[in-house]
Copies of this chain bind each other. A is one copy, B any other.
């Protein structure tokens, strides 16, 4: 994603999120405090930043008179008490922005921070840490970006930008070769195609059928190593299923190319980040 596209996506997410906080009469409490104010976005614990674009776009949508200057870029580390951003503008507008803006950076920095921990565990290996489609409904683009900010890779976006053939498809088709042929015929010649395999026989079938990527699902380490050897560069090798911080290093050590982990988005607590108005 280039920056212009990211910003557009962030703006739409910010628009929807603001609509959750501002309806009817708008902000019942804050609207009367219209004087100019200064505020800081401050970390209450350490982490990796993500969500800056959404915060900035939310600010612009609340009131174009809010000036926001971030002190960190998305993907940068911070520790507790670090000032992440400074704001100047009408107090009423900053108060209207506060919760929505913080919800973005709190949640998304949580994803980036968890990703960074997985990436740190696999340092020195060829394995990249990848996101899955287990993302909070409505927030996929931003959570995929957060994984990139944490050092990971985004994988496919949805069902439409690459074909993944899983157990269910194979069973329905009656075998790997048939499934791949059917999907390839329908999906066209240009789309990436990944095949999930459970054992080495299926692996051979997948390679023979022209899979671009093979997904080793819930295999033990011995089988993963054997599979990597068997593929021998003929396809990208991805591992998925039960990937935890504790196990990820030994999986990476087998020489696989990609490790995808739902935990990046499903087990990542928010990073505690607050907004303080200056006295």
- The reply to whether B269 and A28 contact each other, CB–CB distance below 8 Å, is no
8 Å CB interface, A4-31 against B: 4-6, 9, 13-14, 16-17, 20-31
**In the complex, A183 has a CB within 8 A of chain B:** yes
- The reply to whether A103 and B134 contact each other, CB–CB distance below 8 Å, is yes
Q: Which residue of B lies closest to A94 (CB)?
A: B168
- The reply to whether B13 and A1 contact each other, CB–CB distance below 8 Å, is no
**In the complex, A240 has a CB within 8 A of chain B:** no
- The reply to whether A32 and B139 contact each other, CB–CB distance below 8 Å, is no
Which listed residue, B31, B106, B128, touches A5 by the CB 8 Å rule?
B31
CB contacts (< 8 Å) of A22 on chain B: these are: 5, 158-160
Interface of chain A: mostly helix, strand, loop or mixed: mixed
Which listed residue, B104, B169, B171, touches A137 by the CB 8 Å rule?
B104
Which listed residue, B133, B165, B182, B190, touches A21 by the CB 8 Å rule?
B133
- The reply to whether B136 and A136 contact each other, CB–CB distance below 8 Å, is yes
* A25 vs B133: C-alpha distance when bound (angstroms): 13
Which listed residue, B62, B168, B266, touches A4 by the CB 8 Å rule?
B62
**In the complex, A69 has a CB within 8 A of chain B:** no
CB contacts (< 8 Å) of A209 on chain B: these are: none
* A80 vs B102: C-alpha distance when bound (angstroms): 35
Number of interface residues of A (CB under 8 A): 100
- The reply to whether A154 and B107 contact each other, CB–CB distance below 8 Å, is no
- The reply to whether A162 and B194 contact each other, CB–CB distance below 8 Å, is no
- The reply to whether B189 and A20 contact each other, CB–CB distance below 8 Å, is no
- The reply to whether B158 and A20 contact each other, CB–CB distance below 8 Å, is yes
* A265 vs B74: C-alpha distance when bound (angstroms): 23
8 Å CB interface, A168-200 against B: 168-169, 171-173, 182-183, 185-194
- The reply to whether A155 and B188 contact each other, CB–CB distance below 8 Å, is yes
- Looking at A33-41, A116-124, A218-226, A246-254, the stretch in contact with chain B turns out to be A33-41
Which listed residue, B33, B63, B135, B141, touches A172 by the CB 8 Å rule?
B33
For the complex of A and B, 5 pairs with smallest distance between CB atoms: A5-B26, A24-B157, A17-B137, A138-B138, A2-B31
B-contacting residues of A (Cβ < 8 Å)? 1-6, 9, 13-14, 16-17, 20-35, 37, 54, 62-63, 65, 90-93, 95-96, 99-100, 102-104, 106-107, 110, 128, 130, 133-141, 144, 153-165, 168-169, 171-173, 182-183, 185-194, 212-213, 236, 238, 257-258, 266-267, 269-270, 277, 279
